[in-house]
Amino acid sequence: MLALAVLRLVLAGVIGYLAGSFPSGVIIGKLYGVDVLGQGSGHTGTTNVLRTAGSKAAAIVVILDIAKGALPVLLARYLIFPASSDAAIGPWAEPLAGLASILGHNFSLFLRFRGGRGVATGGGAVLAMNPLVVAIAFPIGALPVILTRYVSLGSITASITCPIAELILLLTGHDTIASHPNWAHFTFMLIGALIVIASHHDNIQRLLSGTERKLGQRAKPETPPIETGQR
């Protein structure tokens, strides 16, 4: 039984990573005539798609990226480890699937381990685990964007808010139809937040130096490298 449970956990992780690896930003970018890997930040997430390919492309990408995080979690819950399965190991399938989807998005198997920053994909996983946490974190994360127009600051703020909100709901015993906090979900949100924050290391440096791009600023076209050497 233990071996079967471990295999199920592995399956949840593999599904999560493959789903996260789906290069939605690159595919949609190409449909709009843009190579998102070669422009702007070079990342495949919604923000870079918005700057390089426009709002319509970005809207499609954010929906797909959210689905990349939500679907593996739901599959882990209802198919891989249904309610009648192992009560001790089963709850950890969802966090594993969610973390794997973030890693797949950030280090895509199909993009030579390049990708995005995991915000929308991680948000999709949180949405599947506890919609109430998203309802709390989204407006809190949106506030810095509204006030400063720094999307990265809002993403970091929302990521930090998720584990805090889950912990508060867990400690206060807030268990409703829309919210079932547990330690497995809290663990995912804490580790996921750390991954998302780490993926924003360059943004954090630019925020500190005052050189971070604001929402609405278009990405500059990629400048070809200057050849050196004798002619």
For residue 80, list its beta bridge partners.
none
What does the DSSP assignment read for 162-194? HHHHHHHHHHTT--BTTB---HHHHHHHHHHHH
Burial letters 190-202, b for 16+ CB under 10 A, else e:
bbbbebbbebbee
Ranges of each domain in the chain: 2-209
Q: Does the pLDDT at position 177 exceed 80?
A: no
Place of tokens 């604001």: 214
Return the structure tokens found at 166. Answer: 């889950």
pLDDT band at 83 (very low <50, low <70, confident <90, very high): low
pLDDT band at 176 (very low <50, low <70, confident <90, very high): confident
Percent above pLDDT 70 for the chain: 91
| pLDDT confidence of residue 173 | 87
> What are the backbone dihedrals phi and psi of residue 179, each rounded to the nearest 5 degrees, phi first?
-145, 115
116-166 confidence digits (pLDDT tens):
999 999 999 999 999 999 999 999 999 999 999 999 999 999 999 999 999
Contact 221, 39 (CB under 8 A): yes
Contact 178, 85 (CB under 8 A): no
4-27 confidence digits (pLDDT tens):
888 999 999 999 999 999 999 999
- Over residues 221-231, mean pLDDT: 42
* Closest alpha carbon to 73 in 121, 41, 111: 121
Burial of 229 (0-12, 13-18, 19+ CB in 10 A): exposed
Q: Does the pLDDT at position 229 exceed 50?
A: no
Q: Does the pLDDT at position 67 exceed 60?
A: yes
CA distances (Å), 177 to each of 96, 101, 132, 174, in order?
Answer: 23, 25, 10, 10
| pLDDT confidence of residue 81 | 83
User: Crossing angle of helices 119-129/131-148, nearest 10°?
Assistant: 150
Among 81-85, 99-103, 142-146, 223-227, the minimum mean pLDDT is found in 223-227
Query: Which amino acid is present at 95?
Result: P
24-64 confidence digits (pLDDT tens):
999 999 999 999 999 989 999 999 999 999 999 999 999 99
Contact 16, 104 (CB under 8 A): yes
pLDDT band at 223 (very low <50, low <70, confident <90, very high): very low
